[in-house]
Structure 1
Amino acid sequence: MLLKNFYTIVKSESLEANSFSATIEIQKEHPIFEGHFPNLSVTPGVAMLQILKELTENHLRLSLFLESASNVKFLSLVDPNVNATLKFDIIIQEDSQYIKVKNTTSFEDGTPVLKCNVTFVKH
């Protein structure tokens, strides 16, 4: 975990052979929010992508390196004081060298937060 104690995995489950869902809870007391931004906590987009990487690594039991990201759309601000629970729905396409991920992240009520396609290299 790149950011220690930044989030906890509440639930992770395989949906089909090539997809899984993970629910996480962001720790609103984490020091990252002191600088991003004081008095208005906003989860950094790069932290959201790091969570996606770590969840995928955890699911596949592989070490990954982010090679590229496309169609990255941050659709809602993630203020952990308002909505700390996020659900990542991840579809994986794998070949000998690459892991391609299609991700949709939402709040508990279904409000979309992040949509993206990411390519990881097996490390």
Structure 2
Amino acid sequence: MLLQQFYTIVASEITKAQSFETTVKIQKEHPIFEGHFPNFPVTPGVTMLQIIKELTEDHLQQSLFIESASNVKFLTMVDPNINANLKFNIVIQEDGNYVKIKNSTSFNDGTPVLKCNVTFVKR
């Protein structure tokens, strides 16, 4: 885990072949929020992409490297004091040495937070 103690997994389930849903809780006390931003914490988008990478690696039991990301849309700011739980829905397509995913992330109430496609290379 690149960001030690940044989040904890609350629930995870396989929803169908090659897709899963995982809910994580962001730790609002994490030092990253001291700089992003003081008195107005906003979860950095790059950390959400890192969570997607780590969840996919855990699901596949495979080390991955992000090759590209496309159609990345941050739809709502994530203030961990207001909405600390994020639900990641990830659909996986493996193609040889590549793993392509489609992600949609939301709050527990269904409000969309992030949508993206990411291509990983197996290490």
Which runs of structure 2 are paired with 1:1-123 in the superposition (5 Å)? Answer: 1-123=1-123
Could you tell me how far 1:18 is from its partner in structure 2? 1.1
Could you tell me how far 1:5 is from its partner in structure 2? 0.2
Distance 1:117 1:9 in 2: 22
Distance 1:31 1:78 in 2: 16
Tell me which amino acid in the other structure corresponds to 1:92. Answer: I
Hey, which bits of structure 1, 4+ residues long, moved more than 4 A? none
Distance 1:21 1:112 in 2: 14
TM-score (norm 1): 0.99
Distance 1:16 1:99 in 2: 17
Identity of aligned residues (%): 74
TM-score (norm 2): 0.99
Instruction: Write the deviation string for residues 75-106 of structure 1: whole angstroms up to 9, x where unpaired.
Output: 00000000000000000000221000000000
Q: Secondary structure at the match of 1:58?
A: helix
Q: Secondary structure at the match of 1:87?
A: strand
Alignment: residue pair count? 123
Tell me which amino acid in the other structure corresponds to 1:38. Answer: P
* CA-based RMSD: 0.4
Tell me which amino acid in the other structure corresponds to 1:32. Answer: I
Distance 2:53 2:74 in 1: 16
Distance 1:16 1:96 in 2: 21
Could you tell me how far 1:17 is from its partner in structure 2? 1.2
Tell me which amino acid in the other structure corresponds to 1:61. Answer: Q
Q: Secondary structure at the match of 1:11?
A: strand
